[in-house]
Amino acid sequence: MNQTTDYQPDAHRYARMPYAYCGKSGLRLPRVSLGLWHNFGSVDDFGVATDMVKYAFDHGVTHFDLANNYGPAPGSAETNFGRILRENFQDYRDEMIISSKAGHEMWAGPYGDGSSRKNLMASVDQSLRRTGLDYFDIFYSHRYDGVTPVEETTRALIDIVKQGKALYAGISKYPPHLARVVYQMLADAGVPCLISQYRYSLFDREVEAEILPLAARFGSGFIAFSPLAQGLLTDKYLHGIPERSRAARSTGFLQTSQVTPERIEAARRLNAIAERRGQTLAEMALAWVLKDERVTSVIVGTSSVAQLADNLKALEHTTFAPEELDAIGKIV
Ligand SMILES: NC(=O)c1ccc[n+]([C@@H]2O[C@H](COP(=O)([O-])OP(=O)(O)OC[C@H]3O[C@@H](n4cnc5c(N)ncnc54)[C@H](OP(=O)(O)O)[C@@H]3O)[C@@H](O)[C@H]2O)c1
């Protein structure tokens, strides 16, 4: 079947994006990746979603991050992304890295949630069906569920790779003491952990203490999610909560209670530093995460092409003077 639109990717798409090796693997990822957690569900505008994927690909963003439960409705981001691929990207699968995950609540009953073997094996098949893909490039355990032995989850990841349903395995949000067990077990099985996905931003630096060094020690790449703190590290909330914003949407995961006066004050002060650097706050916040070479990529979420364009500009200036880092450190 041929693609149904006349979309032709930009011929110069690879000239604009730096790529980094993902840990000690041979796989390079774009330093900015696109996440489909929000804005790609059945409640969202399919035209805007399609335009964002095209714009991303035209600018060298080869990596698209999904999970089984992204929507809403859960599953609809995978369904929509599959349609975008079928309609526009039939000849470009080998130029893309597509990831998905399982582990958060997805379907009814005792097997639709958590990190059991049952959940992971069923999930990967469901996600392949929804997207219409033959395989994922990366399949993640989305979380440690607090009960399932990590050995059970890790064996499922190994089997998913060995069965050809994913090329690489990754983990997300595992506490360091369990991440260590998973890294070792995956390495012993000859399926080393390609990548570790954790929240990391100017407003959330927890990974600096243990996970970043641990992942590097085991040769795992690191990819940061919510690098803009879901929009708090942009100019969006500097003057209140706009109507069209994640915090204002009933389906958004950013709660209005998280838009605190302290956060807004910090964002204002960071914004002043960004202005002096000739950047938007979003650009500076992404550049700040990317300055660490252990960070393979940042996954941005966007609700418009304009936001994506702004975020890609972060790549033009990712170094910081010591005084800038000092001033930023005092604020956060
Ligand atoms: N592993 C996990 O458990 C996990 C958890 C969360 C996320 N993730 C992954 O990480 C991805 C990114 O997470 P995220 O969406 O929270 O990331 P984020 O980049 O921190 O926040 C994205 C939101 O910030 C706002 N924004 C982005 N760029 C902007 C700009 N230039 N100017 C103004 N506002 C801007 C938009 O909000 P508005 O909608 O208000 O415009 C956008 O929806 C997800 O899509 C998903 O793939 C993984």
Please state, in angstroms and rounded to a whole number, the distance separating the CA atoms of residues 64 and 90.
Answer: 15
Q: How far apart are CA 257 and CA 250, in angstroms?
A: 13
Q: Are 267 and 203 in contact (CB under 8 A)?
A: no
Task: Please tell me the predicted confidence (pLDDT) of residue 251.
Answer: 84
Kindly give the distance from the C-alpha atom of residue 225 to the centroid of ligand 1, in angstroms, as a whole number.
8
Ligand 1 mutation pick, 195, 204, 225, max ligand atoms within 8 A of CB? 225
Question: Whose C-alpha lies nearest to ligand 1, atom 8?
Answer: 225
Indicate if ligand 1 lies below 6 Å from the C-beta of 52: no
- Ligand 1 proximity of 230 Cβ (cutoff 6 Å): yes
pTM for the model: 0.98
Q: Is 303 in the pocket of ligand 1 (CB under 6 A)?
A: yes
pLDDT of residue 166: 98
Query: Which positions of the chain have pLDDT values less than 70?
Result: 1-2
Nearest CA to ligand 1 atom 21: 230
Range list of H helices, the chain: 46-58, 76-88, 117-131, 150-162, 176-188, 211-217, 261-277, 281-290, 305-312, 322-331
What pLDDT score does 240 carry? 87
Please identify, by atom number, the ligand 1 atom nearest to the C-alpha of residue 36: 45
What are the sequence ranges of the domains in the chain?
13-331
- Tell me if 193 sits within 8 A of 153, measured CB to CB: no
| Residue with token string 């009960």 | 147
Say how many Å lie between the CA of residue 167 and the centre of ligand 1. Answer: 26
- CATH match for 13-331 among 3.30.56.10, 3.30.2130.10, 3.20.20.100, 3.20.20.70: 3.20.20.100
* 65 touches ligand 1 (CB under 6 Å): yes
pLDDT in tens, 39-84: 999 999 999 999 999 999 999 999 999 999 999 999 999 999 999 9
Contact status, residue 42 vs residue 75, Cβ threshold 8 Å? no
Identify which of 242, 222, 221 has the alpha carbon closest to the alpha carbon of residue 307.
Answer: 242
For every residue of 213-268, DSSP letters joined together read HHHHHTT-EEEEESTTGGGTTSGGGTTS--SSSTTTSTT-SS-GGGS-HHHHHHHH
pLDDT value for 1: 57
Write out the two tokens for 314.
Answer: 């972060």
Is the distance from the beta carbon of residue 271 to the nearest atom of ligand 1 less than 6 Å?
Answer: no
**Residue 229 alpha carbon to ligand 1 centre in Å:** 7
| DSSP letter (8 states) at residue 3 | -
